[in-house]
Copies of this chain bind each other. A is one copy, B any other.
Amino acid sequence: MNWRPSWLHGYNRWQAGQDGLAALIVSLMLIPQSLAYAMLAGLPPVSGLYASILPLLGYALFGSSRTLAVGPVAVVSLMTAATLGPLFAPGSAEYVGAAMLLALLSGLFLVAMAMLRLGFVANFLSHPVISGFISASGILIAVGQLKHIFGVAIGGETLWQLLPALFGQLPALHGTTLAIGAGSLLLLWWVRSYLKPCLLRCGVAPALAGDLAKAGPVLAIVVSILLVTWLQLDQAGVKVVGAVPQGLPGLRLPVLDLQLALQLLPAAVLISLVGFVESVSVAQTLAAKRRQRIEPDQELLGLGAANLVAAVSGGFPVTGGFARSVVNFEAGAQTPMAGVMTAAGIAVSVLLFTPLLHNLPQAVLAATIIVAVLGLVDLGSLKRTWHFSRADGAAQGATLGGVLLLGVENGILLGVGLSLLLFLWRTSRPHVAVVGQLPGSEHFRNVERHSVVQSPSVLSLRVDESLYFPNARYLEERIGELIAARPLVRHLVLMCSGVNLIDASALDSLEAIAERLRSAGVQLHLSEVKGPVMDQLKRSDFIECFGGQVFVSQYQAQQALDPESAQRALAR
């Protein structure tokens, strides 16, 4: 673990210029996103801005990616809302305090994982689970934001709850709000799909055209603020952001309510893991493009630091964001100094520009969220995964359906549980082949695929998998079955060329197998045991007690146990 960033050494003017330009572009993108994700998380808009200042510094100091842009992101904001929504009134002081506590717990958990080098725990979240989770989150977020577009008030955490509530409120929809919301959706969709080709055709340089196309949200915000101010639409019932406190966040610890902390802990763990997985995959993708490296344990530390400072500066859980990191990278960011400069940009905005945001309609923020998250929904991926592997497809489908219908936490736990179950099922039945001697050679092959010579008194089995607890019992059953069908057999040779590991469960199984075979008048032997596996077996008394021999090769085993058959096969 290293807290002294290597990039600081030899930082030069060219890098500073590049970082500064990237920071300017990312800041412009981050302001509307921060406001929108704070609204999604059920927090006052200023919390989003606070979460985009100090956390960026925290990550810059400890993270290992040079171009990752940290801050509030859609999925983590949804998880924050799903955790705190049932407990407190959104936007209340208790809610804000609990969000800070959630960030604190998340930060502590991430730092603890870094210290214990537990980054591998994120492997519990397999790709199909993550993918199903993100698609479902996108749908849930988009449906949840429709209330701001329609100008109605509904609550709910699952499709079951959201859709009926939304339809029930349709008669009460607010026309002007709908006009603004739908207009923003159309504008954002047009900018996203058509602005760049349009600008290119007009002769604008590609890089500039790309940046302008990403400025759609800023455009929508400026236009809508002007419109609301000019027509005094806030007087006509269009909900606006309202007064945003001016000035930097004060540093203060969240209220340390131990009982609440225990209640929030499972959600904090899940938020941390999901955020970490998302962030690391973005960071790795970007780092590889410049042949740089990401250290997962260092990333844990960086994200942990970001969340800890979010917790003491009025923020909420943050992580690395995909879209803004790509913009940062493409705008030429060279070092985490770009993050520091972005933080400075947001800080200046909070100091100077928040009064300008008063008349920003909530419907416009909702529209920017909807357009952003619909890009996350990839239902085709479910079909591809199912086609590739039924087991993975089932895990992805269960996560998707689970998140939509049972809520965020239950859905992800369902997916993780199912993928562990399917994984056990898959590895619980390793390939075990009966082998015989290839005529005229010392090689042993699967009797079902080759025409080989088998000895009547010696049964040879090849196991194509490490022996550990998921498959220990299966081996016992399989051998029992094979022996029960072959009354003449007196020796069983286990060919271990494919065995990379034997754990304690498998050792017990081997002992049980040896004993059961012995009581049935059959002796167990091993052959072709790899060095490390043999070292491990020697740490138990198995080798002394099992009564059989360990042969270097399967042919030697055959020669020792049934020399006649071995010679006959060799001579053919």
Could you list which residues of chain A lie within 8 angstroms of chain B, going by C-beta atoms? 120-124, 126-128, 280-281, 284-285, 287-294, 296, 384-385, 387-389, 391-393, 396, 419-421, 423-426, 428-429, 431, 464-465, 468-474, 476-477, 480-481, 483-484, 487, 500-501, 503-505, 507-509, 512, 515-517, 519-520, 536, 539-540
CB proximity of A68 to chain B, nearest CB, Å: 15
Contact indicator B392/A291 (Cβ below 8 Å): no
Taking a contact as CB atoms under 8 Å apart, the answer to whether A540 and B387 are in contact is: yes
Q: What are the 3 tightest A-B residue pairs by CB atom distance, in nearest-first order? A: A288-B516, A392-B504, A126-B469
Chain B residues within an 8 Å CB radius of A431: 500
A465 and B389 alpha carbons, distance in the complex (Å): 19
Nearest-neighbor residue (CB-CB) of A392 within chain B: B504
When A388-B536, A504-B388, A519-B288 are in contact, do A480 and B124 touch as well, CB less than 8 Å? no
Cβ–Cβ contact A469 & B424, under 8 A: no
Q: How far is the CB of A269 from chain B (nearest CB, A)?
A: 13
Give the Cβ gap from A245 to chain B, nearest Cβ, in Å: 41
B421 & A420 in contact (Cβ 8 Å cutoff): no
* CB<8 Å pairs between A and B, sample of 11: A120-B429, A126-B503, A281-B512, A285-B515, A287-B480, A288-B517, A293-B480, A296-B477, A387-B539, A388-B536, A392-B504
With A284-B480, A293-B484 as known contacts, state yes or no: A120 contacts B392, CB within 8 Å. Answer: no
Q: Is the CB of B389 within 8 A of A428?
A: no
A480 to B294, CA, bound (A): 8
Q: A472 contacts which chain B residues (CB < 8 A)?
A: 123, 126-127
When distances are taken between beta carbons in the complex, the residues of chain B under 8 Å from A293 are 480-481, 484
| Residues in B whose Cβ lies below 8 Å from that of A465 | 500
B388 contacts A539, C-beta separation under 8 Å? yes
A509 surroundings in chain B (CB, below 8 A): 127
Given contacts A292-B484, A294-B480, are A470 and B123 in contact (CB under 8 A)? yes
Which residue of chain B lies nearest to A509 when distances are taken between CB atoms in the complex? B127
| Contact across chains for A124 and B424 when beta carbons are under 8 A apart | yes
For the complex with contacts A284-B476, A289-B520, 7 further pairs of A-B residues with Cβ separation under 8 Å are A120-B429, A121-B421, A123-B472, A126-B472, A127-B509, A285-B516, A387-B539
